[in-house]
Chain A
Amino acid sequence: MKTKRILKIMHVFAWIALIGLSIKVGAIIISYLVSLGNEGAAKDLYEGMNLVAYKQNSLVHYSIIVGYRVIQFGLQAYIAFLVVRLLSNLNINRPFNLNALKAMQTISYSLLLMWAIVVAHNIHVGILESTTGIKATLVSSEFILMAGIVYVFSLLFKRGLELQSENDLTI
């Protein structure tokens, strides 16, 4: 069945995303800890992430900005984990179930939280740019749109669950 094959492939991709994002979060945390003693490490925390200017300016601001990034990528890893769990427990013959619905709603709320973190980050670095002159690197905040879309899908899924339950009780 084509759908089953596609879902299996998506499951594999979700696992790859989960592992990759978990490694990313761990690498940033370790790089941050190393950078506390070695300023050079702040030049490349992970894949070119250069926050040395913030570290030279203020350790507190530097730590908060690293915190934003860690939370953001941590949430992405959590969402990947939810997708992995959703696809692991999926029964293609009875796809509408309470666990899947809860997973979709949790993904939606996580995306909303991620948007809030990104907005806080962008405001913070914006203020720092105006006060210290450090050029702000803004993070894209499209997560609110994704959160809304996933939430709408979760509402449709909820209706699907109601219809499935009604069908189960139709003799």
Chain B
Amino acid sequence: MPIIVNLDVVLAKRKMKSKDLAEIIGITTANLSILKSGKAKAIRFSTLEAICKALDCQPSDILEYVEE
């Protein structure tokens, strides 16, 4: 998929666990796992906003476009 989710990288930089992030932003660890693995079809702005707020980052830190 052309959109890469670099959530693992940002989590590592912030020294935060996936479980903690899921709890902060109010989604299940399963859904966060779907997002991290690149299986997600879409992300809501509200979820993206919550992630950026929790990790103190920009959407471009998390999402990257790579041409196929």
In the assembled complex, 11 residue pairs joining A and B whose CB atoms fall closer than 8 Å, in A order, are A169-B34, A169-B40, A169-B41, A169-B42, A170-B40, A170-B41, A170-B42, A171-B32, A171-B40, A171-B43, A171-B47
Query: Closest B-chain residue to A166, C-beta based?
Result: B41
- C-alpha spacing A170/B39, complex, angstroms: 10
What are the 10 closest A-B residue pairs judged by CB atoms, nearest first? Answer: A169-B41, A170-B42, A171-B35, A166-B41, A171-B40, A171-B31, A171-B43, A169-B40, A171-B47, A170-B41
Task: Check B39 against A169 for contact (C-beta < 8 Å).
Answer: yes
Residue of A nearest to B36 (CB): A171
Residues 147-171 of A, flagged 1 when their CB comes within 8 A of B and 0 if not, give 0000000000000000000100111
Residues of B contacting A171 in the complex (Cβ-Cβ under 8 angstroms): 27, 31-32, 34-35, 40, 42-44, 47
What CA separation (Å) do A36 and B51 show in the bound complex? 78
Please, how many angstroms separate the alpha-carbon atoms of A166 and B34 in the complex? 12
- Which residue of chain B has the shortest Cβ distance to A170 in the bound complex? B42
